[in-house]
Amino acid sequence: MAAEQEAIIHVLISLAVLLFAAKIFAEIFNKLRLPVVLGELIAGIIVGPFALGSIPIFDGKPLVILNETVLQIGQIAGIVILFIAGLAITPKEFLKGGPASFTIGACGVIVPFLLGYYVFTLFGLEALESVLIATALTATSVAISVSVLTEFGKMQTKEAKLILGAAIVDDILAIAVLSVVVTMVQTGNLAPNVIDIIILILKILGIFAGLLIGAIIIIPRIVNTERLWKAKGSIEGIVTASFFGASAIAAAVGLSPIVGAFSVGMAVASTRIIKRVEDYVDKLEIIFGPLFFAIIGAQVNLTGVNIEVLILSAIVIIVAIVSKLVGCGLPSLLFLKNRSKAMIVGIGMISRGEVGLIVAGIGVSAGVLSSNIYTTVIIMVAFTTLITPIWLRKAYGKEEVADTKL
């Protein structure tokens, strides 16, 4: 058998195992009245290459692999999820919540970064190590919260739209911080020029604004001309091509691909074909949702855990949770005027994801982060990802009880 064909078979088996396990655990967690996304994440951890998936079946090779192809499919799944999230909010609603989204998103980056840097230097870590870990605390993995909010039927609530808007702003600013930190790691310069930092952040914000405006102007003009699209699946195909294309453009200019997908989702939300697109993406989500979360879970490696790692992980996790609850929850109170809903926003912003993993990888590759600190960041990402859906369910449960009493 040719090596290329064997590699394809191995990828397909890995995806099949991850998807099958995700669906089985989703059923179990659904019966236990727990968020199914949590089951999908745990399924990935259990059958991943660092657990049961390490069982050799291909000439000594493991059952499940996480090669570049599998990880890229996971990224595509994340893009689909964020496009679906964009469908829940129109450009008008996004702009209406602009000041609130920007304030909460900005605080959700600034507070974790400053608190993280202060705490980690206090515990004796080197300045560059502290900067890297603090950066890993900044960005929210909004896909987790989106799935939970969708599952609970809460996507049209004020707090859900605030989480979405703030998470996108959070993601953009976190990428700006990441860009600065990468430069610091590459140059070893811990005091870059403030003007250069401001210019870089403004450049990234400008690119996002241009991408969003472009999507809002172009996409409706294309898809609203229904007389052009008579063949079966044409509208669905054009929409898919649009959010893939926008994701590629976003990535090409230095933004996260999910920003492009989200922008197109918002643009489509204001068109006449929204219902048809929603019916289509509901089917996409059945496959891509579980696959995305299972692949995230499969990346969790707990084999290198020791006492030092556990103690450091506990500190990092506490900082990660407190900084988002304070940085996002308190500003939300000013806009929502409701403690329980503000708390939900804070909880919805807790889960970390891609940026944390990227920062950890950069730090290890540059020789700045030790293997223990690298493992700590991975554990923090895994823990915040696992706890967010459970906490969101409890928060909504308490809110419903309070509403019933009223």
Q: Does domain 70-405 have CATH number 1.20.1530.20?
A: yes
What's the N-to-C CA distance of the chain in angstroms? 68
Residue 64, both tokens: 């499940």
**pLDDT at residue 14 in the model:** 93
Lowest mean pLDDT among 61-75, 127-141, 328-342: 127-141
**Residues 92, 101: Cα–Cα separation, whole Å:** 13
Quickly state the pLDDT bin for 400 (edges 50, 70, 90): low
**pLDDT at residue 353 in the model:** 67
**pLDDT at residue 293 in the model:** 82
- Among residues 353, 347, 328, the alpha carbon closest in space to that of 143 is found at 353
Report the chain's mean pLDDT, rounded to a whole number.
81
Domain ranges in the chain? 3-69, 70-405
The pLDDT of 56-69, averaged and rounded, is: 84
Could you tell me what percent of the chain has a pLDDT over 70? 83
Phi, psi of 307, deg, nearest 5: -60, -45
Task: Compute CA distances 7 → 10, 57, 64, 67, 139, whole Å.
Answer: 5, 13, 12, 10, 34
**pLDDT at residue 357 in the model:** 66
**pLDDT at residue 115 in the model:** 93
**Report for 42-51, 89-98, 189-198, 370-379: range of highest mean pLDDT:** 42-51
| Unique residue bearing structure tokens 């310069």 | 189
Taken as a whole, the chain contains a residue count of 406
**pLDDT at residue 144 in the model:** 74
Lowest mean pLDDT among 85-99, 148-162, 253-267, 337-351: 85-99
Quickly state the pLDDT bin for 28 (edges 50, 70, 90): very high
What's 57's DSSP letter?
Answer: E
**Percentage helix, strand, coil for the chain under 3-state DSSP, each rounded to 5:** 80, 0, 20
**Residues 229, 105: Cα–Cα separation, whole Å:** 39
Task: Compute CA distances 83 → 126, 243, 250, whole Å.
Answer: 39, 7, 13
Task: Compute CA distances 143 → 12, 86, 264, 342, whole Å.
Answer: 24, 11, 16, 19
**Residues 302, 43: Cα–Cα separation, whole Å:** 15
pLDDT of 189 above 70:
no
**Report for 228-232, 255-259, 286-290, 393-397: range of highest mean pLDDT:** 286-290
More confident residue, 403 or 169: 169
To the nearest 10 degrees (0 to 180), the angle between helices 371-405 and 339-348 is 150
Tens digit of each residue's pLDDT (9 = 90 or more) over 217-252: 887 777 766 666 677 778 888 889 988 998 898 888
Q: Which residues contact 32 (CB under 8 A, 6 or more apart)?
A: none
